[in-house]
Amino acid sequence: MAGSNSQFETKVIHAGETSDAATGAVMPPIVTSTTFEWEALGQPREHIYTRSSNPTRDALERCVAELESGVRALAYASGQAASAGILDLLDAGSHVIAPLDFYGGTRRLFDQVRRRVGALDFTWVDMTDPAAVAAAIRPKTKLVWIETPTNPLLKVTDIAAIVAIARQHKVLTCVDNTFATPCLQRPLELGADIVMHSATKYFGGHSDVLGGINVVADAELGRQLHLLRSASGGVLGPFDSYLVLRGIKTLALRMERHCSNALAIAQHLEKHPRVARVYYPGLPAHPQHALAKRQMGSFGGIVCFEIRGDAAAVGGFLNRLQVFTVAESLGAVESLAGQPATMSHSSVPTDERRKMGIAENLIRLSVGIEGLQDLLADLDQALLTP
Ligand code: P1T
């Protein structure tokens, strides 16, 4: 068992006591059964129906709850389903403060779905400025949604400062912790109410499973989220729960390499003549570098940069890459590259995207765990460095 004082590297292996007590199997069985026999009428066992709970999903949830220092985790079919589950907590007419720059799919869910059918209202705020968050709070504000570092511009938000403001107004805070993972940052320890993850990224870690997870510090909030998830049904299946749990075993080891490779790449790009600007919280030039150093154990595996030139320069660079794969998503063992304007953030209308600060010449790298020299050489040849 991993005690609460264990090192994170130990916790990722042992958290949640996921081995099977009945057989001694070190990894939990994948329980595919959708339904569970009752002892007698009126006497269900621990599990009743897999939409409500399932032993394999429970094992994953116990593990992630412990990694995030929460009391309960709930796993969903995708990161988007997890985010939708949080919005389901809110009554019609509620107001949500969300970041100006964050994952385009979350923004689409908020702006194009929940504003319409859920009758929620949203204000986009630059969360690097806590005073701007305070100024945006209204009587109907019920939730502040934080994403830090943000996707794609890697802005860093002071979680404790925003939590302090939200608490004064009895407003919930949720942190999308996908980019940092609990390996680098644990928002519940800083007072946040909910941590949300796209488990598709670093948790799964191998680009082979889609999933989402919410973690809470309060049992009653966990009960409400569980009820809403059971009612709407967007749960993570047992096979996928197993894959995410398996991925987590190597999370600490992978993050170490993601972070060291990304820092070296950011430093290399910063000096590159074809690069106009680099975004990486680990660089002293990053506007929130001091905050990132304080709040995060390390700076993560995502590096963004603006290439000098127009759309043709972006296309030329991406098409020349050989080790990096041009694809959506992030957080897996292989290095990926993409253009947020036409990929991860294509669902955000062009003028809104520009307001977010996402230029057409912005390139996002999800730095994998390959050998650093191969990655640097690939970037150099694609940037046409002689
Ligand atoms: O793809 P899904 O598992 O539904 O997760 C959505 C999501 C939520 N939060 C963040 C910070 C994310 O980056 C994502 C998914 N992002 C991509 C697919 C992408 O290419 O940026």
Hey, whose CA ends up nearest to atom 17 of ligand 1?
329
Please tell me the distance between residue 79's alpha carbon and the centre of ligand 1 in angstroms.
6
Q: In what order do the strands lie in the sheet with 172-176?
A: 72-76, 212-216, 194-198, 172-176, 141-147, 95-99, 121-125
Question: What residues contact residue 121 under an 8 Å CB cut-off, 6+ apart?
Answer: 93, 94, 95, 96, 115, 140
Task: Verify that 55 and 88 share a domain, yes or no.
Answer: yes
Q: How many CB atoms lie within 10 A of CB 37?
A: 9
pLDDT at residue number 366: 98
Q: Which residue among 20, 51, 115, 320 is the active-site one? A: 51
Task: Verify that 77 and 226 share a domain, yes or no.
Answer: yes
Task: Verify that 243 and 339 share a domain, yes or no.
Answer: no
pLDDT at residue number 213: 98
Reported residue count of the chain is 386
Reference 127, options 152, 161, 153, 157; nearest CA is: 157
The model's pLDDT over 256-293, given as tens digits with 9 standing for 90+, comes to 999 999 999 999 999 999 999 999 999 999 999 999 99
Torsion of CA 213, 219, 220, 223, to 10 degrees: 50
The span from the CA of 95 to the CA of 92, in Å, is 9
Collect the ranges in the chain with pLDDT lower than 70: 1-4, 386
* Ligand 1 neighbour 103 (Cβ under 6 A): yes
Task: Verify that 263 and 351 share a domain, yes or no.
Answer: yes
Torsion of CA 268, 273, 278, 282, to 10 degrees: 30
Tokens 């987590």 found at: 248
The span from the CA of 345 to the CA of 236, in Å, is 25
* Ligand 1 neighbour 347 (Cβ under 6 A): no
Task: Verify that 256 and 244 share a domain, yes or no.
Answer: no
Please tell me the distance between residue 146's alpha carbon and the centre of ligand 1 in angstroms.
14
- CATH number for the domain spanning 295: value is 3.90.1150.10
Task: Verify that 137 and 269 share a domain, yes or no.
Answer: no
Concerning whether 103 is annotated as a catalytic residue, the answer is: yes
Q: Whole domain around residue 121: which residue ranges?
A: 8-248
The model's pLDDT over 142-152, given as tens digits with 9 standing for 90+, comes to 999 999 999 99
Task: Verify that 259 and 231 share a domain, yes or no.
Answer: no
pLDDT at residue number 14: 95
pLDDT at residue number 386: 61
Task: Verify that 235 and 322 share a domain, yes or no.
Answer: no
Concerning whether 176 is annotated as a catalytic residue, the answer is: yes
Contact 280, 271 (CB under 8 A): no
Q: How many CB atoms lie within 10 A of CB 29?
A: 14
Task: Verify that 188 and 269 share a domain, yes or no.
Answer: no
Q: Is 372 domain-assigned?
A: yes
Tokens 């595919």 found at: 32
Q: Is 378 domain-assigned?
A: yes
Q: Is 215 exposed, middle or buried (0-12, 13-18, 19+ CB in 10 A)?
A: buried
81 conformational bin, left if phi > 0, alpha if psi -120 to 50, beta if neither: alpha
pLDDT at residue number 305: 98
Task: Verify that 273 and 310 share a domain, yes or no.
Answer: yes
Concerning whether 293 is annotated as a catalytic residue, the answer is: no
Q: Which residue among 57, 72, 155, 201 is the active-site one? A: 201
Task: Verify that 361 and 374 share a domain, yes or no.
Answer: yes
Q: What is the DSSP string of 32-59?
A: --SB---SBTTB--S--BTTT--HHHHH
Number of domains in the chain: 2
Hey, whose CA ends up nearest to atom 19 of ligand 1?
329
- CATH number for the domain spanning 236: value is 3.40.640.10
pLDDT at residue number 241: 98
Identify any residues that bridge with 307 across adjacent strands, giving them in sequence order: 275
